[in-house]
Amino acid sequence: MSTLGKVLLVFNLLLGGGFAYLAIQDWQGRQNITAAGLRHVILLDGLPLGGTAADPKTGRPADPETMPTDPEAEVVFVVEGPGGKPTETVSPALLKAYFAPAGGAADATGLALASSEPVPTQLAEVKRVYNLVKTFIEGQADGPARAKAAHRLLELQAETLDERQADQQLVAASKADELVARLYARFERVLKAPEKTDTSAIDAPADDEDPAKTKERLAKADEIRSAATKDEPERRARLAHLLVHLDQSAAWQKRVLMVVGAKRYARTVAIQAIRFSEMTARVRRGIDDDQSRFAAEYAQLREIATRRTQILRDRTDLEVRLADQERRDADAVKALETQLDDPTTGLKSQLARVKADVDQLLARQTLTEQQLFEIQREVGIMLARIYQLEADLRRTEFEKYGKKN
């Protein structure tokens, strides 16, 4: 080969190496741009939901539940990428870089939900948090502590005032098992796959609906709301609601936003804000109704109290007058007792003297009666003698003069 050929060969080799270098740089730039765009899409729309089984027909693998241990492995990550082009896999490094800013310290209770640990799907994040919550709840010292810990995680989850009040009543009664069951049920209904069910109970009612049917429909609607999710959109909504309202710390809120996406995060917060506004309005209406009832009952009770106060005053005045009368009667009794018991002028002493005089008079009368009795007896004897003499006289006259006649 001539010298010119060798020079051209070297030149071609250098030129090919330059083109290869530029191609590699272009590929790396495109990869970086694609990764940045993908992170932007994930930040807006969130991670894949997960839970999709493998499809042998299309060759699509199942959604992963954990991160692979091999740093070179590809993670199944089906999302709509930048430019509308679907992304099927990503590297673990991308997810690690995405979650790197999401770390956070444990709160005052020792529960650290925020972490820079990457997860491949939203359901994987729910399972990770579920395990942390279980460990935290079961690690409490006693029943009241478990009740308070479960209620702290449930406090912002309530979607209705009745549900919030039920949680408050349970924690006040230290019913830890019921509170823990309610908390775990929120995780289970998100982790459980959607199932088809009759949702006619939550449809708009007819204008002439029977009250009994309305009551039955509302009870069925409560069962539907508390049951498992019905489809993927509802599952995503419940998942975001569960994660957002577990903890209010800034680090945790940042991680939840990165998991569910800014769009879903903002919508979840807005919906819960509306629910809290409705709860507040209902509480205020209840307070106003209670205030109205209180004012009416207070006016009624005040009138009754005024009337009874007047009755009490009248009775008090009567008691005072009766007490005065009782004192006067007692004074009169004491005066009479004094009149009775005075040794010189008292009625008892006078009565004793009268009794003594009467006794003397009675003694004199008895003596006089005895004397009269003696006189009467003597007169009787004298009369008897007179009657006897008279009888003797008649007999004598009869004997002397009777025969001549």
Pairing type for strands 75-80 and 86-90 reads antiparallel
Of 136, 131, 164, 162, residue with least CA distance to 150? 136
Give the amino acid at 92. P
Contact 90, 75 (CB under 8 A): yes
Helix 347-401 vs helix 262-341: angle between axes, to the nearest 10 degrees?
50
Please state, in angstroms and rounded to a whole number, the distance separating the CA atoms of residues 270 and 285: 22
Identify whether the C-beta of residue 247 lies closer than 8 Å to the C-beta of residue 115: no
Q: Choose among 108, 150, 121: nearest CA to 45.
A: 121
Q: Which pLDDT value is given to residue 106?
A: 64
pLDDT of the chain along its 405 residues, tens only? Answer: 577 666 666 666 666 666 555 455 444 444 455 566 778 888 888 999 988 887 777 777 888 888 888 888 888 888 776 666 777 888 898 889 899 888 777 666 678 899 999 999 999 999 999 999 999 999 998 999 999 999 999 999 999 999 999 999 999 999 999 999 999 999 999 998 876 655 555 555 566 667 777 767 666 766 655 555 567 889 999 999 999 999 988 999 999 999 999 999 999 999 999 999 999 999 999 999 999 999 999 999 999 999 999 999 999 999 999 999 999 999 888 887 777 777 676 777 778 888 888 889 888 888 888 998 989 889 989 999 999 998 888 888 888 886 544
Q: Do 247 and 107 touch, CB atoms closer than 8 A?
A: yes
Burial of residue 45 (number of CB atoms within 10 Å: 0-12, 13-18, 19+): middle
Contacts of 276 (CB under 8 A, 6+ apart): none
Measured CA to CA, the distance from residue 183 to residue 189 in angstroms comes to 10
Q: How confident is the model at residue 27, as a pLDDT? A: 42
What are the boundaries of each domain within the chain? 46-205+215-260, 349-400
What CA–CA distance (Å, rounded) separates 370 from 366?
6
Structure confidence at residue 26 (pLDDT):
46
pLDDT value of residue 197:
54
Q: Which residues contact 205 (CB under 8 A, 6 or more apart)?
A: 214, 217
Number of Cβ atoms within 10 Å of the Cβ of 292 = 10
Report the distance separating Cα 360 and Cα 367, nearest Å.
10
Alpha-carbon span 359 to 30, nearest angstrom: 150
Q: Which structure tokens are listed for 180?
A: 């823990």
SS3 readout for the chain:
CCHHHHHHHHHHHHHHHHHHHHHHHHHHHHHHHHHHHHHHHHHHHCCCCCCCCCECCCCECCCCCCCCCCCCCCEEEEEECHHHCEEEEECHHHHHHHHHHHCCCCCCCCCCCCCCCCCCCHHHHHHHHHHHHHHHHHCCCCHHHHHHHHHHHHCCCCCCHHHHHHHHHHHHCCCHHHHHHHHHHHHHHHHCCCCCCCCHHHCCCCCCCCHHHHHHHHHHHHHHHHCCCCCHHHHHHHHHHHHHCCCCCHHHHHHHHHHHCHHHHHHHHHHHHHHHHHHHHHHHHHHHHHHHHHHHHHHHHHHHHHHHHHHHHHHHHHHHHHHHHHHHHHHHHHHHHHHHHCCCCCHHHHHHHHHHHHHHHHHHHHHHHHHHHHHHHHHHHHHHHHHHHHHHHHHHHHHHHCCCC
How far apart, in whole angstroms, are the C-alpha atoms of residue 270 and residue 107? 25
